[in-house]
Amino acid sequence: MMTDMRRAPTAKGGRRASLGLSVLLLPVLLVSLDISVLFLALPTLTVDLDPSAAQQLWILDVYGFLIAGLLITMGNLGDRFGRRRLLLAGAMVFGIASVFAAFAPSAGVLIAARALMGIGGATLLPSSLALISSLFPDARERAAAIGVWTAFFAGGSAVGPIIGGLLLHQFWWGSVFLINIPVLLILLAFGPFVLPEHRAVVLGRLDLPSVALSIGGILPMVYSVKRAATEGIDGWAIVIALIGAMISTVFVRRQRRLDEPLLDLRLFARVPFSVAIGASLIGMMSLAGLSYLTSVYLQSVTGRTPLAAALLGIPMAIAVFVCAMGGARVGHRFGAPATFVFALLASALGNLMMLGVGVHGGPGWYLTGSTIAGIGYGLSFTLVSDVAVSSVPPQRAGSAVGISETSFELGNALGLALLGSLAALIFRSGGDYAPTLGETIRKAGGDAALIESARESFVDGLHVAVTVGASALVVMALIARFASSAQR
């Protein structure tokens, strides 16, 4: 591989490297924050735009699915055209889409704007992490910088609902998108001066059929899950799921034949790499489901304002961020396999403690459970990038980073689609309700018995969803435990 040497040299521990890292943290925080910032805004947004149940889920997760589907592709484009150039171009796309989302007149326009934000976000993550290698040539400093990057990525998702609640207390729901603009302006203003350019001349061309197949395999399967949750399992949902599965199969077979695949499947033959990717996928899936459902619970079930609900999320956000910052040190002291097992089990315990919440009580269970879960999530997420990269040869590190980031985004989107849809299915089966709890309460006309019954049904759905999420975490912990034993 030939490399374009048009880079600004960075001294070990240099001031420019530190400034560059500070600038790179801005898009990371925005992308991860926008994953969850809508959780608390959804009830207010629903009143203004009146989206259907399916549209509500698309508003939440079309962003994450497009990021997941395009991350590896955008990483390849950054290598070809310049990582800094792609980063700044993606920031402009992200900013323009944020404005459209803030002033969206309908649910359809908001979904389209969120999709455009996903495309922009997919350019920001791989470029920002790849540029860290250029800023910090020293291995130890680079590992510390990646740890900070991961902490901001993991912490941003946890902080999103809190920022959303604070904004909703003073402004309308579109304000959660407009906060992106000043942050992106800082990136665009300082990025060209403090970030080095890096462009690698890669043999071969980008395989466009693989790009199309990767997206074409994911979206139909997600759509079938949504349809089954909102309309029931019917022939159309099954057909769409089969189409997605067949496209995914074609994608996998194509990757095995290509000399330069979009997704290098050989990386998964390495046990530490596979365990790290599995932990991030399952962890983000359960975290997304937990965050979304508890946000609705705190507002629509307990009657709290968005601000009050956001304040209750502060302990979890702190736990995620602090443990993410220190997760690498814990992993080095006790070993990555043992740390993964502990972190996954702690996350599972925190999810199971949500079984204590109810219609007329349970904030203590929520605070304790979410904080314990945050400790587990923070520890596991900070290890993923380090383990994924260190467990593969240096020449494959770029592919490993792309896959690890994809697993985060895909896990988040799957959590909203699968766990959110499961909770919706349980809720709808509890009575003759509108598709969502908020809509049911609005249409109840003051019928206290109907509102009480609907809230109980939603709590039942929440309990089932967090139990499934906790079960997946326990299974992943067992896999990590036995996989590490098999390697000895």
What the block records as the tokens of 321 is 């961020």
Q: How confident is the model at residue 4 (pLDDT cuts 50, 70, 90)?
A: very low
Q: What is the pLDDT of residue 1?
A: 36
Distance CA 52, CA 438 (A): 11
Q: What is the pLDDT of residue 5?
A: 35
Mean pLDDT for the stretch of residues 175-194: 82
Distance CA 239, CA 243 (A): 6
What the block records as the tokens of 89 is 């171009």
Query: Using CB atoms within 10 A of its CB, is residue 240 exposed (0-12), middle (13-18) or buried (19+)?
Result: buried
Query: Do residues 354 and 466 touch, judged by C-beta distance below 8 A?
Result: yes
Q: What is the pLDDT of residue 59?
A: 82
Question: Of residues 50 and 391, which shows the higher confidence score?
Answer: 50
Distance CA 241, CA 234 (A): 11
Q: What is the pLDDT of residue 226?
A: 65
Q: What is the pLDDT of residue 348?
A: 96
Fold of 10-206+262-487: Growth Hormone; Chain: A; (1.20.1250)
Digit-coded pLDDT (tens) for 465-482: 999 999 999 999 999 888
Letter string b/e over residues 107-136, b meaning 16 or more CB atoms within 10 A of that residue's CB: beebbbbbbbbbbbbbbbbbbbbbbbbbbb
Q: Please say if the pLDDT value at position 301 is more than 80.
A: yes
Mean pLDDT for the stretch of residues 85-94: 86
Looking at 22-36, 191-205, 448-462, 473-487, which range is the least confident one?
191-205
Q: Please say if the pLDDT value at position 263 is more than 80.
A: no
Distance CA 276, CA 409 (A): 14
431 phi/psi in degrees, rounded to 5 = 170, -175
Residues with Cβ within 8 Å of 12's Cβ and at least 6 positions away in sequence, in order, are 137, 138, 141
294: how many CB neighbours lie within 10 A of its CB? 24
Question: Of residues 448 and 297, which shows the higher confidence score?
Answer: 297
Q: Please say if the pLDDT value at position 291 is more than 90.
A: no
- Specify the 3-state DSSP secondary structure of 79: helix
Digit-coded pLDDT (tens) for 94-110: 889 989 988 888 888 89
Q: Please say if the pLDDT value at position 2 is more than 50.
A: no
203: how many CB neighbours lie within 10 A of its CB? 8
Mean pLDDT for the stretch of residues 173-192: 82
Q: What is the residue extent of each domain of the chain?
A: 10-206+262-487, 207-261
Digit-coded pLDDT (tens) for 382-439: 777 767 666 665 545 556 666 777 787 778 767 877 888 888 888 888 887 877 787 8
Distance CA 402, CA 75 (A): 7
Q: How confident is the model at residue 12 (pLDDT cuts 50, 70, 90)?
A: very low
Distance CA 413, CA 311 (A): 25
263: how many CB neighbours lie within 10 A of its CB? 21
**Which one of 18-27, 108-117, 435-444 scores highest in mean pLDDT?**
108-117
Looking at 75-89, 199-213, 441-455, which range is the least confident one?
199-213
Q: What is the pLDDT of residue 484?
A: 67
Global pTM?
Answer: 0.75
Query: Do residues 315 and 365 touch, judged by C-beta distance below 8 A?
Result: no
Q: What are the DSSP calls for 9-74, one per residue? A: ---TT-HHHHHHHHHHHHHHHHHHHHHHTHHHHHHHHHHHH---HHHHHHHHHHHHHHHHHHHHHH
Mean pLDDT for the stretch of residues 161-179: 75
DSSP H stretches of helix in 180-270: 180-194, 208-231, 235-257
Q: How confident is the model at residue 11 (pLDDT cuts 50, 70, 90)?
A: very low
**Above pLDDT 90, what percent of the chain?**
13
Q: What is the pLDDT of residue 108?
A: 86
Q: What is the pLDDT of residue 204?
A: 58
* Dihedral-angle region of residue 232 (phi above 0 means left; psi in -120 to 50 means alpha; beta otherwise): left
**Which one of 40-44, 102-106, 257-261 scores highest in mean pLDDT?**
102-106
